Amino acid sequence: MTDTQLQFLRAVYEAASNAHHIWPAMAACEAALESSWGQSRLAREAKNLFGLKVPSSWSGPTISMPTQEFLHGEWVTVPAKWPVFADYAESMAERIRVLHANSSYAAAIAAVTAEGYIDAVSPVWATDPDRAAKVLAIYRKHGSQIVPVREIA
């Protein structure tokens, strides 16, 4: 993992912790996958870490750009409208709000393990049938490096 990737994971972990995500390290790994480690156009231009499309309650700025969706057994490009966030903290806070506001994510919110969370959230959140396995691979490889080491005074 590069220093830039580690810094990204730690920044997103902190945003997830501050937003009271139940599995902040897993959320950081989700963001790494969804945003190409913070390097996707959507992440760079909109601070949108999770590919969150404009929710009905959104009144902030938006950006339009295409996305890849796995539909009817194949990847297709479709147009989409995305919320623009001020920073990672706002992106994470909106993600948490969406997870709690939609009953489709109840099993993910109630998960007792990080792996259970990702297995429950992935089929609802994304069209990629391999999303959970991809996030778990990042988590298993880098999860122990995400939590910042804090010096004891």
Q: What does the pLDDT look like over 125-150, one tens digit per residue?
A: 988 899 999 999 999 998 888 765 44
Q: Provide, for the chain, the percentages of residues in helix, strand and coil under a 3-state DSSP scheme, each rounded to the nearest 5.
A: 55, 15, 35
Residue 46 has pLDDT above 60, yes or no: yes
> For the domain bounded by 3-143, which CATH number is listed?
1.10.530.10
Supply the pTM of this predicted model: 0.86
What are the extents of the domains in the chain?
A: 3-143
Q: What does the pLDDT look like over 67-121, one tens digit per residue?
A: 888 888 888 898 889 999 999 999 999 999 999 999 999 999 999 999 999 999 9
Q: Given phi > 0 = left and psi -120 to 50 = alpha, else beta, which region is 103?
A: alpha
Listed in sequence order, the residues at least 6 apart from 89 whose beta carbon sits closer than 8 Å to its beta carbon are 15, 18, 19
| CA dist., res. 72 & res. 32, Å (int) | 26
| CA dist., res. 149 & res. 134, Å (int) | 26
